[in-house]
A and B are shown apart, each in its own frame.
Chain A
């Protein structure tokens, strides 16, 4: 009985990525920094601002900001791992023997996708869960009422747009892997995709204190989800159809 080859590729990529110090500590750093920053921001805001109009306004504003922040810290690892798994393989000269195995393009691409999806999703969902739990444990200890930050819309965005952006990052990496030569260059280029996750952090800021902020925040969540899903669909389809062994090898 043979193992699923995509899983085999994903596990090997993860092992290879974790053997690199910058990826290992990068992942640990991102995994820790997201929830810590989110919890500190939420707890500081809630604890320092007395209940009233300013409090409500700030809570409404920090909800999408925290959702964005958690999403960004969950997505960046996908960029680090996929850069290493695609461009890094070529840089290390391991791509040629890998492409010479009977792996089909589909098995290879799914393997590369899984190697980034698995840890990034764990960091994204785990980080969100840990943040919400930690915030509320602190609120209970401080005698404050329970609060859901990110709010329901933010959660929806994290759970839909988050994985979509992760897939988009990996697909984008597949598309550029035949054109860039260095891991760092690839890593920088895919950072562009992360900009989508910043939208909810910026747009509601223009409406703080206004009566439209709740509607704008929801609209921003929905827009971010739609952009992420559309970007994922486009980049993924292009990655599947344009994946080119010839170009990858010609650059070795």
Chain B
């Protein structure tokens, strides 16, 4: 057994799940080292969410198994659920809208068996950590998307799980809120030494925060390795498509004036912009456009991960 396998907090062996004729997860084998931040990348429908649902025992595999923090998902599902925390896909929609932020956390603290005496203190600690203290008495349904996402993340870590499963943690968030959530995930990993398993279709995101990445397509892992190894293999080049409702030429001038912008290609109704260190600078660019009152209707990463998978498959990079 390799060092990686010995040190694995999540150990997936031949894990398989189908929904009728659709093979969602196909004989997956994967090891996630303890204390690492792991990113499972793939397009919609690749099997990422099914993998997370299998790992937290919401779904049962038809074949294979997995161990999470030493507990088998088939033999001891309750133990697995005790040591995992989950932020489901569209996590900001999974809160009880009629309950306050505090009540949402209190409810789940009780379900996770957190001692009654320490629940208020734990909730206060988390709300402070997430910068939500002044929102404690607001109903979850009245919070902004970003705040709801942070609240859902707080709910996932209430019981100090050993493994944190995050399904598309920044989808549906604006770049500023997404950046904040990414920082929180990094802080969580550093402060609580948790193993974090992130599902994402956002390459820039996993590139920024993950130690290891696997790429999944059609339920199969097609690439796996450290972030550095994979990025060098994939030769990533990132561009952003910016579409504005009016004032395209002013927007173009503004974009070109930013020191970190490498190139600007005007197209029929949008600008294709290449920027240096995109993770660091894309939010800066958006802020500059917003400050200049440019009405942005689209700000999208142009590099399609699917292209990268295809490229990887074509080059026979399967591992």
> Which A residues form the contact surface with B (CB < 8 A)?
1-3, 5, 8-9, 12, 15-16, 19-20, 92-94, 96-104, 245-246, 249-250
Contacts and interface: CB of A to CB of B under 8 A. Distances in A.
A198 B59 CA distance: 40
Which size class do B's interface residues fall under? 35 or more
Given A97-B86, A97-B88, A100-B56, A92 B97 contact: yes
A245 B73 CA distance: 14
A33 B78 CA distance: 44
A87 to B, nearest CB: 15
8 contacts: A2-B116, A93-B88, A96-B88, A101-B108, A102-B112, A103-B81, A103-B111, A246-B58
Contacts of A104: 78
Contacts of A2: 110, 113-116
Given A16-B96, A96-B94, A97-B94, A246 B112 contact: no
Given A8-B110, A19-B98, A97-B156, 5 more contacts: A94-B94, A94-B95, A97-B88, A100-B84, A101-B108
Contacts of B116: 1-3
Contacts of A3: 110, 116
A9 B113 CA distance: 12
A100 B58 contact: yes
Contacts of B94: 93-94, 96-97
Contacts of A250: 19, 59
A5 B95 CA distance: 18
B107 interface: yes
B221 to A, nearest CB: 22
Given A1-B117, A3-B116, A104-B78, A98 B111 contact: yes
A12 B56 CA distance: 23
Contacts of A5: 110-111, 113
B60 interface: yes
A94 B78 CA distance: 19
Contact of A15 (B78, B84, B98, B117): B98
Interface string B76-105: 001101101010101001111111000100
Interface string B278-301: 000000000000000000000000
B155 interface: yes
B179 interface: no
